[in-house]
Amino acid sequence: MTKTNAGNFFEDFKVGQVLHHATPRTVSEGDTALYQALFGSRFSLQSSAEVARKAGYAAAPADDFLAFHIVFGKTVPDISLNAVANLGYADCRFHKPVFPGDTLSTESKVIGLKENSNGETGTVYVRSTGRNQRGETVLDYVRWVMVRKRDKAHPAPEADVPHLPEAVEPQHLIAPEKTSFKGFDTVASGSPHLWDDYEPGEKIDHVDGVTIEEAEHMMATRLYQNTAKVHFNQYTEGKGRFGRRLIYGGHVISLARALSFNGLGNAVLIAAINGGRHVAPCFGGDTVFAWSEVLAKAPLKTRDDLGALRIRTIATKDLPCSGFPGPKDKGYDEGVILDLDYWALMPRR
């Protein structure tokens, strides 16, 4: 019997099944420095231990998306090694901040299955939960992914598609315990605009563009121990559909988030991801731009120092965003690569 991991195929998943993913990972200040070097974020809460302490944290928390990518990476060998496509995310909430020294591990529960009519693939829905070394949930999310069958003849399971919220309800958003953002230092943060200053419908072009190099996206993706083959192997991908290594979709999310500082400089925390769609592939050499629209705003029931903004961030490649490219007709404008819908928390006046 081979000792290499062949991954799970569609018929290996059962609704209700729990997968304990391998490789707990201790986050360090080395990881946060690499994340800084790779994305260039400037949100003051993650950049400065002093800003974090003033808000009640013991230290500067890791970027929320760094935590997400590490938690996500662990699921790849069990969930998506034989995936054809990563179809979507939903109902992702950030429960606890992650600090250097925390050890993250991930568990997934299969919550839905639906075989495709071609009999060759099927959609697997999982809820994945990242926990720290104390067993506390750090974040959880639902992902669905199209997975190949090992054996076309294997009978289809009964279709079971979970109900997923279109967005996390504001009353379900979690603000970090024992913190206070009253009197948040907007000189240090670099933006005078607080929650009170944003209105639904407001569109913000984040202006800047950043070109992605192959070395960068591979280093990032390995940092998360994400082993999806398409990101690393030019020998094989060079013979494939695109002739190129595909960049991990999460890399574009992190870049778009870092770009969004220019206009959303006080959106210091991600509270939830309502949905995310990788509209088109991204490759080494592409220059990524982004813009955002405020979809909604909501106060938090338990906090008057923070408010929630529901933001849609669109990222493009080789296409500046002053014209706010996005969905059109049945698809998207040429050049759009990411459509991300999330809740951020921002200090209030």
Site residues for a second copy, 233-272, by CB under 8 A, read 233-236, 245, 262-265
Does position 44 interact with a second copy (CB under 8 A)? The reply is yes
Q: How far is the CB of 343 from a second copy (least distance, A)?
A: 18
Does position 80 interact with a second copy (CB under 8 A)? The reply is no
Which of 115/216 has CB closer to a second copy?
A: 216
Does position 281 interact with a second copy (CB under 8 A)? The reply is no
Does position 210 interact with a second copy (CB under 8 A)? The reply is yes
Which residue stretch of 29-37, 89-97, 123-131, 302-310 sits at the interface with a second copy (rule: CB under 8 A)?
Answer: 29-37
CA angle (290 as vertex; 171, 84 as ends), nearest 5? 80
Single out the residue of 72, 89, 181, 232 in contact with a second copy (rule: CB under 8 A): 232
Which residue stretch of 91-99, 148-156, 181-189, 297-305 sits at the interface with a second copy (rule: CB under 8 A)?
Answer: 181-189
Single out the residue of 15, 49, 230, 296 in contact with a second copy (rule: CB under 8 A): 49
Which of 92/309 has CB closer to a second copy?
A: 309
Does position 321 interact with a second copy (CB under 8 A)? The reply is no
Q: How far is the CB of 103 from a second copy (least distance, A)?
A: 5
Integer Cα distance of 124 and 309 in angstroms: 30
Q: What residues from 84 to 123 belong to the interface with a second copy (CB under 8 A)?
A: 100-101, 103, 105
| Binding-site size, a second copy (CB under 8 A) | 80
Amino acid in position 185: D
Does position 58 interact with a second copy (CB under 8 A)? The reply is no
Does position 222 interact with a second copy (CB under 8 A)? The reply is yes
